Amino acid sequence: MDKKQFIEQVVSLKVKLKNYAFNMLSNKEDADDVVQEAFLRLWDMRCKLDSHTNISALSIQVTKFICLNVIRQRKLRSKLNDISVFKEDMFFLEKELSYKEDAEIINQIIDNLPPMQKSLLKMKHLEGLEIDEIAAITGSDPSAIRMNLSRARKKIQEMYFKVHNYGK
């Protein structure tokens, strides 16, 4: 089959093939791409087209197989997206659980601190008071407050590392 015959017998089916592809894919751009690919495949086999009795039926078959490939690729992409979203969700869920576990451990450690250190930590970090405010409330020197807070934080860190076997 030469170029002129191909245009007359195959390219003339463009509207019919686009409608067929659109009915399968429900997407105009994909249908256009499928028909273009079908024409390329048919062009590659143009030397054998003369032996086919129904070029229209062959063109529809080629278009159908390309559409089925597009549908398979869509499903595969959808599954891959679902898997990556699931993995991402699991990662954040694991992180959140890890944070909750860490918070529970830290709260237990704080509960076992001496009462003064526990109260100072609460005033500083939960109530948001400044060192000078805490000193005024407790009647202590600001440097003593800093020292006690420092000791409390160091104790929390030591106990946390001990719980997690970090070697400290």
pLDDT tens column, 116-126: 888 888 888 88
Class of domain 3-82: mainly alpha
To the nearest whole percent, how much of the chain has pLDDT over 90?
A: 29
pLDDT tens column, 31-88: 999 999 899 888 888 888 888 889 999 999 999 999 999 998 888 777 766 666 566 6
Q: For the chain, give every residue range classified as CATH 1.10.1740.
A: 3-82
CA angle 133, 159, 108 (to 5 degrees): 70
Q: Report the chain's C-alpha Rg in angstroms.
A: 36
Q: For the chain, give every residue range classified as CATH 1.10.10.10.
A: 112-163
Full-model pTM:
0.49
Could you tell me where the DSSP H helices lie in the chain? 3-9, 14-25, 28-44, 46-49, 55-111, 115-121, 131-138, 142-163
Average pLDDT of the segment spanning 87-105: 73
Q: How many residues does the chain have?
A: 168
Decide if domain 112-163 falls under CATH 1.10.10.10.
Answer: yes
Is the per-residue pLDDT at 168 higher than 50? no
CA distances 142 to 114, 150, 151, Å, are: 19, 12, 14
